[in-house]
Amino acid sequence: MELLPNLRDKKISLASASPRRRELMGLLGIDFAVAPSVEVNEVYPDSLPAEEVPLFLSRLKAEGYRSIMTPDDLFITADTVVIIDDDVIGKPHDEADAAAMLGRLSGRRHTVVTGVTLSTLDRMESFSVDTAVDFAPLTAEEIAFYVSRFRPLDKAGAYGIQEWIGAIGIKGIEGSFYNVMGLPVHRLWNALRSF
C-alpha cells in the first residue's frame, strides 16, 4: 500500500541528529533517510518574537541543505524550543544549567513550540505547533536525580517528556505529546499528504 502517492518520486530525508525525531518519524510508516549533517549557525534576530524562533530556525536549517539537494529530494528540518516568560530556552550548556532550567519550569506552565520546514529545490513550506505543558513543583533532589541519571543536555528545556521527569513531574499538557518530544507527527503527516 502506498501511503503518500503524491511523493512517490521524492526521496524523503529527515535532517536531524535527534534520536527522538528519528523515532517519531519512524511512526509515520514511510521510507526516509537521515540526511548528513550540515553546519548551520543557529542564530536568530533578538527582535524576533519567541514563538516565531523555531519556525525561523527550521527554515534556516532548510536553507543549509539547498547546496546538496537534488530534484528528487524532500528534506524535513525542525527546531524545538521551550518558552517561559517570553524567554526562549534551548538546550542546556551543562548539568548546572539543566538544573537551573528545571528549577525555573518547576510548578509552572510553559509552552513547547516546534517549527518544521518541508523543502525541495523549488518549494518550501513551513508550520509550527505549540503545546502547553504544566509541571508540578519539583524538589531539588528530584531535579538533581534526573539531571545526573538522564543527562538531558541535548533537550530543549533540559527534559524529555517521555522520561522519568515526565512521568513524575508533568501534571498535564494541552496539545500534541509528540510535539513536546520534538516532532509534531500528526501535523507533519498532513503536511506531507498535501505537499
Exposed, middle or buried by CB within 10 Å (0-12, 13-18, 19+), for 4?
A: middle
CB atoms within 10 A of CB 174: 11
Cα 1 to Cα 30, 43, 158, 190, distances in angstroms: 11, 42, 40, 18
Q: How far apart are CA 25 and CA 16, in angstroms?
A: 11
Residue 73 annotated to the active site: no
Strands 170-174 and 109-120: unpaired
Q: How far apart are CA 109 and CA 179, in angstroms?
A: 16
Catalytic pick among 31, 72, 73, 79: 79
160, 147 contact by CB (below 8 A): no
Q: How far apart are CA 104 and CA 91, in angstroms?
A: 14
Classified as helix, coil or strand, 32 is coil
Cell 518574537: give the residue. 49
Catalytic residues: 79
